Structure 1
């Protein structure tokens, strides 16, 4: 399970809306829970990243140097990286084949914001190392 602070949900939704027609991406921080042990992660902070993909309209890529810098900043505040987020401006809130091929952070949450329907949808998936498994998203106070 991913516990998501309402302020984080609103920030990533605003980022996604502001980035249309391109995908946006970023890092989530808080407390990382081990999915294998049934522990929930809690995200109470988000950090926006630049989408460095060659085709940002249909994929995302975090620049490794920027990603490392964002992660260091978040961890300097005492947080842990709990996962990442990106948007699907026209697509479903599920990982694409490209998302699965590019995933590398085993046990971490990958949040997808879909703007393809009338109401935006925010869903989360944990990468097992082989596939994505959907995890519930619950709102929590930050």
Structure 2
């Protein structure tokens, strides 16, 4: 991706935030996650595909369900769109990459969007070594 600015559609942003609020309302609260869909070359996110979080402790971690993730990626590619990256929520903390997020990141050049239920959202490109924050513009 290698862009310092990424645009996200209102619909995609609203879907991510709605999903995050659903996770925060659980008892106990849980991180939610999914796939970002759009155009990698243009640096744009047009929609999202929610995926189940199968982490051992979803309150503080996320792990995209492997089968659901592969099915979502296949569907996205079959539609002619691109997988731009992945999203997850931090239901009880700031939307910045955690040590666990860094340890788990495995798609260099892809976007990792993090949000929390109050509506704060950040985007970071994984370089393979660390996250580089990018500007997120809602369009």
The alignment's TM-score, normalised by the length of structure 1, stands at 0.89
> What is residue 137 of structure 2 aligned with on the other side?
138
Moved over 4 A (4+): none
* SS of residue matched to 2:106: coil
Give structure 1 stretches of 5+ with no counterpart: 34-39
> What is residue 10 of structure 2 aligned with on the other side?
6
In the TM superposition, residue 125 of structure 1 has moved relative to its aligned partner by: 0.4
- Contact 2:102–2:131 under 8 Å retained in 1: yes
> What is residue 66 of structure 2 aligned with on the other side?
64
For these two proteins, the number of residue pairs brought into alignment is 131
* SS of residue matched to 2:11: helix
In the TM superposition, residue 63 of structure 1 has moved relative to its aligned partner by: 1.7
- Contact 2:54–2:62 under 8 Å retained in 1: yes
Give structure 2 stretches of 5+ with no counterpart: none
Please report the RMSD computed on the Cα atoms of aligned residues, expressed in angstroms: 0.9
> What is residue 53 of structure 2 aligned with on the other side?
51
Does residue 98 of structure 1 match 2:107? no
In the TM superposition, residue 104 of structure 1 has moved relative to its aligned partner by: 0.5
